[in-house]
Chain A
Amino acid sequence: MNRALFLDQRQEEWLRFERMVAELESKGRSEDAFELPSLYRRVCQDLALVRSRSYGADLESRLHPLVLRGHQLLYRGHPLSWERVVDFLAVGFPRLVREETRLVLLCSALFLLPMVGVVLALSFDGDLIYSLLKPEQVMEYEAMYADEGTFGRESDSDVLMFGFYIYNNIGIALRTFATGIFFGIGAIFTLVFNGLFLGAVGGHLVASGYGGTFLPFVVGHGAFELTGIVLAGVAGTRLGLSLITPGNRSRIGSLAVQSRRLVPMIWGIILLLLLAAFVEAFWSSSGAPAPVRYGVGAALWIAVISYFVFGGRRR
């Protein structure tokens, strides 16, 4: 068979394939889409033939894009489905977190020890706060928790705070994960820094007598928020560790495998912080009496911890 005969015999099918691909690309459906795999494989065969018989670079440059587009249509990943979301929530996420138990403990320590340290230090010497925060910041936080009245704010500002918590807190968590790629340094820094910062604010407020408004406020969303931050640290540290101890893979290969593995954890962190933002904006600031809020806070903590301890285990 020579080139002219080959063109003559095959051209029509290429045009048909091209039409089908264009239709599938633009509309996502085509009447004879069931023929896509067989047509695609025949075009692949043609491309291989053109190459092995040197039928010409022009034919190659015509068939190659067709094969590329067909390949894109045929080898797609699985679309998202409700089963996968439910499976992720009920099984995948808590299991993944338990697989990282040691890192969870390490990151909790990196976060909580500086926090507890600062709180203790402030209880001995309250003036230490001014070496951690600017005086204006201290005044701002004091004003925020000065009296119960602040929390009777309009529902408008609840929505504003909801948006702010999403933008700010989830942003921090995602940055914590991303900077973990620098051998974990970014993630560890964020954990320690936030531990110190939250310890400074909380310690100062409690030490200066604002505990009555501050503690009932934070106990509710704390369950979701602190867990989310620690898990962001876990994901980031794991990313860094994949480069430091790649095992029997190449460093880049190990990075790619671990990133892929951490994807469910990232969705989980985003979900936790969304819940935190929701609780913080619409519940923590509500006028509910302190004992109720302590109760709800305790229930949320128990729920979050038991979710991660018991979720997704085989009965």
Chain B
Amino acid sequence: MLDTRFSVETPEGVDLSLAVAGPAPRALAWVIDSFLRLIGYGVVATLLAVLGTAGEGLFLIVLFLGEWFYPVLFEVKGRGATPGKRALGLIVLHDDGTPVGWSAALIRNLLRFADFLPLAYGFGLASMLIDRRFRRLGDLAAGTLVVHREPMQVSLAQLRPVAALAPPVLLQPEEQRAVVDFARRRSSWTDDRAAELANAAAPLTGARGGLGAARLEAMAAWLLGSR
């Protein structure tokens, strides 16, 4: 999980940590968007049918706008997300963390056609798998990222109740996150597996086996504010 995080520094000097989204949620968002567009075309076609031949012409204009500009419009006006992306909790940002504008939205969505080639987003997928930040060709050209809107929420309530223990040294943010993640997932492991994993942190806990695992959990509680 840590490797999909990516930090940008704001002008205020704090790091925004962004969790870039991989191919699977983005594909799902695309399916939802395609479905919505299909419904939209159906509705518009029915309404325009009364206009006969002229209605067909207007429908082609709607089709053109839908295929090329539906994502552009929603990404700019819908605070970075098409309805599908919104449903999956995704948002498009410039790679400096600012909201996507008309230029970037236009570029990334025009190049969608290149990403789609040779079929079913082949080049886009290849590009996403090669790039550390899951950028497809359109994202590379536009300088955009697709990230998860809400980074995972962490709270004390997610941990098993234990007495807090202050870590002996000040932990780096990544280290804190690793300790907290350990405690959050502790209940899904057997005691033996937890002890085995906690052995990796023996230099921190000063103990191996079950005691080490228990100390890690206690430190996680401290990190989440329990005193």
Does any Cβ of A come within 8 Å of B16's Cβ?
yes
Partner of A72, one of B13, B53, B98: B98
Residues of A within 8 A of B61 (CB): 162-163, 166-167
Which one, A57, A76, A174, contacts B113 given CB within 8 A? A174
* Chain B positions within 8 Å of A99 at CB level: none
Given A157-B53, A170-B64, do A72 and B17 touch, yes or no (CB 8 Å)?
no
Chain B residues with Cβ under 8 A from A71's Cβ?
A: 10, 16, 97-98
Is A237 an interface residue when CB atoms closer than 8 A count as contact? Answer: no
Contact A72 B227 (CB under 8 A): no
Q: Tell yes or no: A239 within 8 A of B by CB.
A: yes
Known: A25-B79, A239-B141, A260-B103. A58 touches B154 (CB 8 A): yes
B117 contacts the other chain (Cβ, under 8 Å)? yes
Name A residues whose Cβ lies closer than 8 Å to a Cβ of B.
Answer: 3-4, 25, 40-41, 44-45, 47-48, 51, 54-61, 64-65, 67-68, 71-72, 75-78, 80, 154-164, 166-167, 170-171, 174-175, 177-179, 181-182, 186, 239, 252, 255-256, 259-260, 263, 266-267
* B107/A263 in contact, CB under 8 A: yes
A163 to B102, CA, bound (A): 24
Query: Measured between C-beta atoms, what is the minimum distance from B100 to chain A in Å?
Result: 8
Cα A65 to Cα B147 in complex, Å, equals 13
The answer to whether residues A159 and B54 also contact, given A68-B16, A177-B110 and a CB cut-off of 8 A, is: yes
B27 contact set on A, CB distance < 8 A: none
A-B contact count (CB 8 A): 160
Binds A, one of B37-45, B169-177, B198-206, B208-216: B169-177
Q: What would 21 A/B residue contacts be, using CB atoms closer than 8 Å?
A: A3-B225, A44-B10, A51-B14, A54-B171, A55-B225, A56-B224, A58-B224, A68-B97, A75-B99, A76-B99, A76-B101, A77-B102, A155-B54, A156-B54, A160-B60, A163-B58, A166-B61, A167-B63, A174-B110, A259-B141, A267-B106
Residues of the A chain whose Cβ atoms lie less than 8 Å from the Cβ of B117: 179
Q: Knowing A57-B224, A61-B153, A181-B137 touch, does A263 contact B103 (C-beta < 8 A)?
A: yes
Query: What is the CA–CA distance of A169 and B32 in the complex, to the nearest angstrom?
Result: 28
> In the assembly, what is the distance between CA of A48 and CA of B57, in Å?
57
Q: Decide yes or no: A252 and B99 within 8 Å by CB, A65-B151, A159-B57 being known contacts.
A: no
For B110, the chain A residues whose CB sits under 8 A away are: 174, 177-178, 266
Q: Please, which residues of chain B bring their CB within 8 A of the CB of A159?
A: 53-54, 57-58
Nearest CB on B from A66, distance (A): 11
Quick one: CB contact mask for B82-99 with A, threshold 8 Å, 1 for yes? 000000000001000111
Known interface pairs A67-B14, A178-B114; A54-B223 also in contact (CB < 8 Å)? yes
Q: Is the CB of A260 within 8 A of B107?
A: yes
Complex CA distance for A260 and B113, rounded to whole angstroms: 18
In the assembled complex, which residues on chain B have CB atoms less than 8 Å from the CB atom of A77? Answer: 98-99, 101-102
- Report the nearest B residue to A3, measured CB to CB: B225
Given contacts A54-B171, A58-B156, 11 further A-B contacts (CB under 8 A): A51-B14, A57-B177, A61-B153, A76-B101, A164-B57, A167-B64, A170-B64, A178-B112, A178-B114, A255-B141, A256-B143
Does B146 count as interface, using CB distance less than 8 angstroms? no
A residues in contact with B60, CB < 8 Å: 160, 163-164, 166-167
**A178:B64 contact, CB within 8 angstroms:** no
In the bound assembly, the distance between CA atoms of A44 and B61 in angstroms comes to: 46
Chain A: minimal CB distance from B160 (Å): 15
User: Given that A61-B153, A72-B98, A167-B63 are known contacts, is A179 also in contact with B113, CB under 8 Å in the complex?
Assistant: yes
